[in-house]
Amino acid sequence: NLFDAIDLLKQKNIQLILCGHGHANRKLNFEGIPAVMGRSNLRAKDEVGGYNIVTIENNTVRYSERNPGVATKPVWTTVNLQNYPFQQENKSYPRPSYAINADYPNVKEKWNYQDKSDIGSGTSSNNKLIFTTNTNGEILALKKKNGKPKWKYQTNGKIYSIPAASNGVVVAGSSDHFIYALSASNGKLLWEVEAGKAVLAHPVIYNNIVYTGSSDGHFRALHLQTGKVIWDFSEVTGFVVTRPLIYDGKIYFGCWNNDFYCLDISNGNLIWKWNNGSNNRMYSPAACFPVATNNRVFIVAPDRYMTALNANDGKEIWRKQIPDLRVRESMGLSSDSSLVFVKTMEGNVYGISTSADTMQPAWKSEAALGYEICPTAIIENNNIVFVPTQSGVTVALDRISGKILWKHKTSNGLITNLLPVANNQIVVTTMDGKISLLRF
């Protein structure tokens, strides 16, 4: 929603925007608003780091870079501060286009819900309701037939946890350190369990038990109806954000410390732990939703590796990094378990054989998505492969041929979740707080 922010800023006496994140010194312009990006203070491969000295004097802003103990470099950019008559400007700027929707008129938005907060999580459902959470700390239910709010429950922290729903109970974690269980019908609190730190992970409910990670080094199994702790594994080395995988009497999950765990689902005992060997936690297999079949567990990670592990002992069956097939975090299992779908950073979608002795692409769709780092899981339903993107476009691919069936843009925000709710309906959630029910 960059463009919404720009429109709001132009209503004020905005004269300069200072920003970072790009790790470089750059002079920018945001639709007529002057802007300067400052470098990171990290040293990378240099001997010393650095930072910018910003001097504001006589309506002029001057930037010079300082390398501690070495030198202060000459001024590299200046900006003259002044009032800008944005309200009177006639110039137009390119904005995100939704023209692609006209190319696939069979796809309709049955309803849309716009939250006042961001939605960094996703949705679950029962017969009549859609459940979600937001960064305002709310767990909420929408009516499936029209998207109208049914109930809301307020927590004391931001929520990034996709709620899980089963047997009339909705469960989600919050950054206020609590795990909440609510009545699915009215949102009333049934129980809450406190963790030591924020609970950002996505819970899974199986056989009336809630399984969830957290940020305090614990992975818990809780009774769905009471919240009673059934077991508590307390040896997780990093915080957990993923949705755990339950497979063949075991539960699998990664964390943001390069470790991947397999626990006995009955008692929480560690069966095995695998580490990717990296010293950089940003390469952890933590955000992907792992999948399993044929006694193999499959994961992808930001280090661009895809890995197949023996489900029983954690030994590597294969681990591969292919330069022109740069996987990251978005993946999903085909309905017949013969393929693991992966999305590459180049914007293509591959189906990797689940039975081959190495990373063998057996299916490909040149989806032409462009640069892609949206980590959201890929879903197959009724022979259609649904692919999320960072530009708010949902892409539907034919499971057999890989042909693009349709594309539909609901927002300019990253898609955080895709939830098929019928053979021809899917719920799309985007980071900017929009939930849409598509009919196709």
- Residue 340 amino acid letter: V
Residues 419 and 124 sit within 8 Å (Cβ to Cβ): yes
| Secondary structure of residue 437 in the 3-state scheme | strand
The pLDDT of residue 89 is: 87
**Running DSSP on this structure, what letter comes out for residue 325?**
B
The predicted structure's pLDDT at residue 368: 85
d(CA 291, CA 197): 27
State the architecture of 161-240+242-280 in CATH terms. Beta Barrel (2.40)
* Structure confidence at residue 367 (pLDDT): 87
Structure tokens that stand for 332 in this block? 């999903």
> Which pLDDT does position 205 carry in this prediction?
99
Q: Alpha-carbon torsion 240, 223, 131, 183, what sign? A: negative
Distance CA(273)–CA(285), nearest Å, equals: 12
Q: In Å, how far from its chain's centre is CA 68?
A: 37
Percent of the chain with pLDDT over 90: 95
131 bridge partner residues? 124, 141
The β-bridge partners of 244 are none
Torsion of CA 384, 212, 283, 417, to 10 degrees: 30
Q: Who's near 416: CB < 8 A, 6+ residues apart?
A: 119, 120, 121, 122, 376, 388, 429, 430, 431
Task: Count the Cβ atoms, other than its own, within 10 Å of residue 306.
Answer: 25
Count of helices and strands (H, E) across the chain:
1, 38
CATH classification for the domain delimited by 2-88, as one of 3.40.50.10440, 3.65.10.10, 3.60.21.10, 3.40.50.720: 3.60.21.10
Q: Is 6 helix (H, G, I), strand (E, B) or coil?
A: helix
pLDDT at 412 (0 to 100)? 94
Report pLDDT for 104: 98
Q: How many residues does the chain have?
A: 440
Cα atoms found within 13 Å of the Cα of residue 200, Cβ hemisphere only:
18
Domain boundaries, the chain: 2-88, 161-240+242-280
Q: What is the largest CA-CA distance in the chain?
A: 70
Mean pLDDT by 10 residues, the chain (440 residues): 91 96 94 97 92 97 96 97 92 93 98 98 98 99 99 99 99 99 99 99 99 99 99 99 99 99 99 98 98 99 98 99 96 98 97 97 91 98 98 97 97 98 97 98
pTM, 2 dp: 0.92
Could you give the CA distance from residue 371 to residue 147 in angstroms, rounded to a whole number? 32
pLDDT in tens, 380-398: 999 999 999 999 999 999 9
Characterise 303 by phi-psi region: left (phi > 0), alpha (psi -120 to 50), beta (else).
alpha
Six token digits for residue 439: 């009919």
400 Rama sector, left if φ>0, alpha if ψ -120 to 50, beta otherwise? alpha
pLDDT on residue 132: 99
